[in-house]
Every structure is written in C-alpha cells, then in structure tokens.
C-alpha cells in the first residue's frame, strides 16, 4: 500500500488514480442498491394501481416480494452489480457478461420487472466507453446489444404468449421490442458517454495546450534570464579585467617609480656625498695646503660632472623622443668604483678569481645589482664612517655563486652629515637583491664596524657551452 504522504498519480485526464479506484468500488454497490430498491418498491406500487398491472405484456405482472421469480431476479441483479467490480480491469468482458446474465434469467423465469436488468447493462456500457477506445470496444458493444435484445425478446415472447405458435415465430414477433430495449440500454448510453468523453478529451487537449504554452513562455523567460545573467557575467568579467589591468598598470608605475627612486638615490648618495666630503677637506686645506685644495676642487668638479652625466642618462631613459646611452655597469666596474672612492678614504680591493672569467654565469641585471650595492656601501662609509678603513672583496671562487662584501672599521673622524634619504639606501639594496633572487646581509661587526654582503647564484650554463668545455674523447 502506498504511504499516506505519497503524491497521487493521475491518469490521462488528470484525475487522481486513487479517486478512480474508489469510484469503481462505489459504482457496483450503488448499482445494486438502486436496482434492488426498485425491485422492492415496484411491486407494492403496482399493487396500489390495478390499471398498471402487467405493463410488460399480457402475462404476469411484477413478482411478489420474496417469491421465486423475485428472488431469481434479485440474484441476477446482484450478480450483474458484482461483475461491475471488474469493469476497470476487463471492461469488455464485463460488458458481455452483464448482458448475458438476463438471458439465463429469461430462460427460467419471466416477470414484468425484467427491464431492471437493463440498468447494470447501462452502467457497464458507460464504464467500458470511458475506458476503451471505440474502435476496440465496438465488438463488445454489438455483442452486448444482441444479448440484451435476445433476453428482452425471450421475456416478451413468454409474457405475451407468442411462444405458443413456435419459438421462431415468437422471437420474430418480439424482435422489435428487443431491438428497442437494446437501443435504450446500449445505444443511447453509448452515444451520451461518447459525447461526454469527447468533451473531456477536448478540455484535456486545451489544458495540455495551455500548459504547453505556459511551459514555452516559462522556457522563453528562463532563456531571457539566462541571457541576462550571461550578459551580467560578461559585464562583471570585463569590469574585473579592467580593474586587473588598472592594478597591473599601477603596479608597473609603482615599480618604475621605485626603480627611478633607487637610481636617483644611487646617484645622489655616491656622488653628492663625495662632493660634500671633498668640500669639507678643501675648506680645511685652502689656507694650509693650497695645492691640495686645488686638487680637491678638481675632484669636486669631476664628481659634479659625473652627477650631471648620470642625471642626463637617467632623463634620457625616461624620454621617448631622445635616444639614451644605456651604459650598464658590471662587476668589473667595481675596480673603477674603488679607485674613485680612494680619493675620499682608504679603500682596499681584494678580487679572488676562480677557474673561470670574472662574474661568469652572472646575468647583466645581477651584475648591475652587485655594482650598485658596492656603490651604496662605499657612499655610506664616506658619509657615516669618515676615516674608517674599508675593504671591498669580490669572491668569485665558488662555482655556484658570487660574493661581494664591503667592510669598514671604526670611524676615526666625525661624520660629514646625515643622509637625506633617511634609510632608503638599505631598503634599495634589499629591493634590488630580492629582484634578482640574491641574498643580502647587513649589520655591525664585532669590532664596531659595519659590513654589507651580497651573495648571488650563477645562472645555468647552456648545454652547448658545457659540451664545448668538455675534453674530446677519441673515437
């Protein structure tokens, strides 16, 4: 048994199956109640009106309640009503069986109430027509009509005495009455039921068409919503791409600004700090050592010219309409850098070469970072550790990496001044080191000095280069 909360199944007309099953169960007892009620009520009514006795013919009238004829008729009506219980499963067989039972009754008993047996036939015709298409139903309908006509003809022939002249002549005389009863019990219910059924099917078709139009409208609405959602998604995607592009542009601008700030800081920190230091020396030597003062002024002029050249080169890089000389500093240029720094303080240079050319496997950008790191470190020594001994070391012995180190001792003279960059030099060193994947270490030494060390890895050499260096193997 299906659970109570299960949804009702529906047939082609939209009627719940459970309701149809209960309707089938109620049709049979309802038919029995109606026919038996008439069977109980007609004899007393017939007795009250003598003029209506024997309406089915000249023979016997309505049977007495409880008599043999009455009992046989009641049994037949109950049997016909009971057969209606199977009308849902086998409507054509039930129709034929309901039409055949009155013939058996007509062979054993006749009465004026025989017409009550047509009521279950009417119900069976209606049920069968509602369940079976007419092309498949017409043989059963025709057979039922013949059975009703035969049963009615037998009963009419017995009641009217036409059988005394023979069976064939008696049936022939009552054939008209049998056909009339068949038309009333089978033909008319069939036509009425077909009309009702066609109207139901028309309503169902209209309902289905309306549902189809509604579903199509819903589908169009869903498609429009989908298109709107897709358009919104594309708009959101375009907006996201625009925001991403703006973010990339802003990031690129920030990187360019940081690069320019680092380059300007390198120029100012290196050259201008040297100019300030040499200007202080010239101020002290101008009276005691004129020749030395003149040499200091020449060095100030050289440093100023170098500043102008570097600024001109930087501005040229920023201009689109003027080609700039893009001279890239290398590790080899550290030698010239140290030579220039020796004019301001005592700087030693230690180059520890390996079994390969200097800075072999170090890319141009990484070499520029090493050069700028040494330049910034020497500028800091001149600015913050005046008079301190300084040593620059380029260690190129390790086959996997290059080490550049700048160490200074304890200053022996007061500082010339503070840097206006406010710590941007060390931050620029770290940014450059991160840019090329190098490792930077800065900090004080144990004897009160300061050290700056940059360690950068070598790039992988191409297979063609390694094969060229390999010794030849005799074939």
Closest-CA residue to 387 (of 415, 414, 411, 417): 411
Determine the Cα–Cα distance for residues 61 and 53; give it in Å rounded to an integer.
5
Tokens of 51: 């003029």
- The answer to whether residue 163 scores a pLDDT higher than 60 is no
> 3-state DSSP call for residue 260?
helix
Mean pLDDT of 157-181: 63
Report whether 127 contacts 91 (CB < 8 A).
Answer: yes
The structure's pTM equals 0.44
Sign of CA dihedral 285, 288, 292, 298: positive
Cα–Cα dist 93/101, whole Å: 13
Average pLDDT, the chain: 77
Tell me the DSSP string of 32-100: HHHHHHHHHHHHHHHHH-GGGTTTTSSS--SPPTTSHHHHHHHHHHHHHHHHGGGTTT-HHHHHHHHHH
- Residue 184 three-state SS: helix
Encode pLDDT of 364-387 as tens digits. Answer: 888 888 998 998 888 888 878 877
Contact 225, 165 (CB under 8 A): no
* In the block, residue with structure tokens 């002024």: 297
Q: Is the pLDDT of residue 298 over 70?
A: yes
H or E, element range at 452:
strand 450-457
Give 226's pLDDT tier (boundaries 50, 70, 90): very high
Average pLDDT estimate for 176-199:
86
Strand (E) or helix (H) holding 331 = none
> Rounded to whole angstroms, how far apart are CA atoms 290 and 282?
9
Is the predicted pLDDT of residue 415 greater than 80, yes or no? no
Residue 348 pairs in a beta bridge with 391
The rounded distance, in Å, linking the Cα atoms of 149 and 317 is 118
Q: What are the pLDDT digits (tens) for 232-244?
A: 999 999 988 888 8
């Amino acid at each position: 048994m299906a659970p109570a909360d299960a949804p009702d199944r529906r047939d082609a007309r939209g009627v719940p199956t459970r309701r149809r099953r209960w309707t089938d169960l109620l049709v049979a007892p309802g038919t029995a109640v109606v026919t038996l009620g008439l069977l109980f009520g007609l004899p007393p009514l017939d007795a009250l009106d003598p003029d209506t006795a024997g309406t089915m013919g000249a023979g016997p009238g309505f049977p007495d309640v409880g008599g043999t004829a009455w009992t046989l008729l009641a049994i037949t009506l109950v049997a016909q009503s009971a057969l209606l219980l199977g009308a849902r499963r086998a409507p054509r067989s039930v129709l034929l069986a309901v039409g055949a039972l009155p013939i058996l009754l007509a062979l054993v008993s006749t009465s004026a109430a025989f017409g009550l047996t047509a009521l279950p036939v009417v119900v069976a015709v209606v049920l069968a027509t509602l369940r079976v298409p007419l092309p498949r139903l017409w043989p059963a309908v025709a057979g039922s009509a013949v059975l009703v006509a035969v049963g009615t003809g037998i009963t009419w022939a017995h009641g009217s005495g036409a059988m005394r002249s023979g069976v064939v002549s008696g049936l022939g005389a009552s054939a008209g009455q049998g056909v009339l009863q068949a038309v009333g019990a089978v033909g008319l219910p069939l036509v009425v039921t077909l009309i009702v059924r066609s109207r139901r099917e028309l309503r169902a078709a209209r309902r289905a068409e309306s549902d189809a139009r509604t579903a199509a409208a819903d589908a169009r609405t869903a498609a429009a919503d989908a298109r709107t959602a897709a358009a919104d998604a594309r708009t959101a995607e375009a907006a996201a791409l625009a925001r991403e592009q703006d973010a990339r542009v802003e990031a690129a601008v920030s990187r360019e600004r940081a690069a320019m700030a680092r380059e300007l800081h390198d120029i100012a920190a290196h050259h201008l700090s040297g100019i300030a230091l040499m200007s202080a020396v010239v101020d002290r030597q101008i009276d005691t050592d004129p020749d030395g003062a003149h040499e200091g002024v020449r060095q100030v002029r050289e440093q100023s010219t170098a500043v102008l050249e570097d600024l001109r080169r930087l501005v040229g890089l920023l201009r689109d309409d003027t080609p700039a000389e893009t001279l890239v500093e290398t590790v080899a240029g550290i030698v010239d850098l140290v030579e220039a720094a020796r004019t301001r303080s005592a700087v030693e240079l230690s180059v520890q070469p390996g079994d390969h050319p200097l800075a072999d496997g170090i890319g141009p950008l990484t070499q520029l970072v090493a050069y700028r790191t040494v330049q910034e470190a020497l500028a800091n020594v001149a600015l913050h550790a005046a008079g301190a001994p300084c040593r620059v070391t380029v260690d190129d012995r390790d086959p996997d990496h290059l080490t550049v180190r700048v160490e200074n001792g304890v200053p022996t003279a007061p500082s010339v001044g503070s840097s206006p960059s406010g710590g941007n030099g060390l931050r620029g060193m770290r940014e450059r080191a991160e840019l090329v994947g190098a490792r930077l270490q800065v900090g004080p030494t144990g004897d009160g000095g300061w050290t700056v060390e940059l360690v950068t890895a070598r790039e992988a050499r191409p297979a063609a280069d390694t094969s060229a260096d390999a010794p030849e193997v005799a074939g």
